Amino acid sequence: MNLESKVLDKINIWLNGEYDEETKQTLRALIENNKTEELTDAFYKDLEFGTGGLRGIMGIGSNRVNKYTIGAATQGLSNYLKSQFPNQQIKVAIAHDNRNNAEFFAKVTADLFSANGIQVYFFDGLRPTPELSFALRELDCQSGIMLTASHNPKEYSGYKVYWNDGGQVVSPHDKGIITEVNKIDDISKIKFEGNPELIEMIGSEMDDRFIDQVLATSINPEIVKLEKDLKIVYSPIHGTGFRLVPRALKALGFENVTLVEEQCNISGDFPTVVYPNPEEKEALTMALNLAKKIDADLVMATDPDCDRVGIAIKNNEGDHILLNGNQTGTLLFNYLIDQWKVKGKLTGNEYIVKTIVTTNLIDKIAYENNVQCYNVLTGFKYIGEIMTNLEGKSTFIAGAEESYGYLIGDHVRDKDAVVACNTIAEMAAYYKHQGKSLYQTLHDIYTQYGLYLEDLLSLTKSGKKGADEIDELMRSYRSNPPQELGGNRIVCVKDYLASTETSLESGEVKAIDLPKSNVMQFLTKEGFVITARPSGTEPKIKYYISVHTALDKASDFVEKEAELHELINRMRTSLVN
């Protein structure tokens, strides 16, 4: 077989080490059948922590999610926790979603922590990711683990690591954990034999506390009572949202919530969808069909671990249309800031947080209302980090990322689709009570602040070969950045890996005060933004395109939107050619 030496070395370790016989038999079969590419992809590197933690395809190999890679991660994390919290009884919380093998991986993780003398709080069944973040803070834990692959296809699993503030790990802890994980170079160093005395099950009482905090974020509960019959269609897309979202909506006062029954079947096979991602129209097809049948006011669907939500609203013709993450985020931020102002809660010391690839319309809304808007790198962990740094100093209103993740309130340090669903429904009820739809409200925002349009271009490049192609693309952008895109001249280049912002007109170079990240941004003279970013969790390079124009009156929307779409199409053509 034509395998690289480092790949062959790792394969031999697995064949000759203390791995279970089933794993070895599977590996031998791959070798006998000359599965060179599959073996290379499985062993050419070790799984690394990206923006979402440890995530990958399930199977054998150092680059796959399995008992041993989960074990090495947990052992390394255990060792790191002991170094950071010496002479303490360390506590961790563990939860899992509906992924295939998620419960098994969660039990392996719990056993490993307990084998290392760490107290484990283990949820008695599947739970949404935000509840794990919440429980960690409630139980005063030093760390937490969520076994999930979020919205990835069914072949994937994942392992999200949280720190004692309830947020996903950031620097320097992410690098410290990786260092310790890399020291686990032999499975004999992994303590698989658990200590049941150190594992405590937690259940419904934590659900109650979490729901109470979600309800506490409501701004206009009295309006919900007046609009309690708002027609809502909800789908958990076979995931954990089924456990808490309907309950939270009912507790807030909504009495007309219709569930997509076929997608309330909790399954890691996601039988009714190709891709369990609320960003994909196909995943919401059943919900949209049901909404049309009952003439629903609002459609909401959450991803498997219930930290992201996609929505559909009715346009002026009564048809249900999907909103993208930027549009939903814009509506939420506008509603929250406006209502905080109405309620007299804005003192000048409030802030919101968004990522650098999330619409700048949100920045404009915040600026016009004297609310500080922080921009962070992609990954909600950076939003959580800002919240932790400002705790007790400034008041957090909300956080958002364009990939359908939102947080309202500071009860957790991660995106939370449970509280997002409640707030979106309340927002719809509020504007309905004002005689307006969310669609009309969005157009009002555009006429006040400008029409912003965003687009995402994802190019999938699988395996080692694909990873090499993505690396070469990013190198070329740094050595020879484009001078124009879609006919629009580039005037500024931001390199987040070099932490530099360079003016192509004056040559002036400024420092970027954010952690280093493999991201490039190109700004045009008109203020349009194009961002190139390799995904931290998928074999893709993503291009985020943001353009805008003035909208003097709502009746001009169709014409102006068409002009922006044409501009985006020209930019897309430039990027792929």
The first and second tokens of residue 34, run together, are 């000359």
From 370, 373, 368, select the one nearest 386 (Cα to Cα).
Answer: 373
If you count them, how many residues does the chain have?
577
From 354, 304, 301, 299, select the one nearest 329 (Cα to Cα).
Answer: 354
pLDDT score for 52: 55
- Write the DSSP assignment of 93-161 as a string of letters: EEEE-SSTTHHHHHHHHHHHHHHTT-EEEEESS---HHHHHHHHHHTT-SEEEEE--TTS-TTEEEEEE
pLDDT score for 50: 57
Cβ-based neighbours of 474, under 8 Å, separated by 6 or more: 518, 520, 532, 534, 541
C-alpha–C-alpha distance, residues 164 and 563, integer Å:
48
| Residues of the chain where predicted confidence (pLDDT) is lower than 50 | 51
Residue ranges and CATH numbers for the domains of the chain are: 45-202 (3.40.120.10), 209-449 (3.40.120.10), 451-576 (3.30.310)
How buried is residue 529: exposed, middle or buried, by Cβ count under 10 Å (0-12/13-18/19+)?
buried
Place of tokens 């070969």: 465
Cβ-based neighbours of 86, under 8 Å, separated by 6 or more: none
Active site residues: 150
pLDDT score for 265: 97
> Helix or strand or coil: residue 10?
helix
> Helix or strand or coil: residue 419?
helix
pTM, 2 dp: 0.94
From 544, 334, 284, 302, select the one nearest 436 (Cα to Cα).
Answer: 334
Task: Provide the strand spans (E) within 330-460.
Answer: 350-355, 372-376, 395-401, 405-408, 451-460
Tens of pLDDT along 345-394?
Answer: 999 999 999 999 999 999 999 999 999 999 999 989 999 999 999 999 99
Cβ-based neighbours of 5, under 8 Å, separated by 6 or more: none
- Residue 184 CA, chain-centre distance (Å), reads 29
pLDDT score for 182: 86
Phi then psi dihedrals of residue 325, to 5 deg:
-65, -35
From 529, 532, 402, 517, select the one nearest 470 (Cα to Cα).
Answer: 532
The first and second tokens of residue 417, run together, are 């689709």
Beta pairing class for 199-202 and 232-235 = unpaired
C-alpha–C-alpha distance, residues 90 and 98, integer Å:
27
How buried is residue 393: exposed, middle or buried, by Cβ count under 10 Å (0-12/13-18/19+)?
exposed
N-term to C-term CA, the chain: 36
C-alpha–C-alpha distance, residues 420 and 331, integer Å:
12
CB 338 within 8 Å of CB 441: no
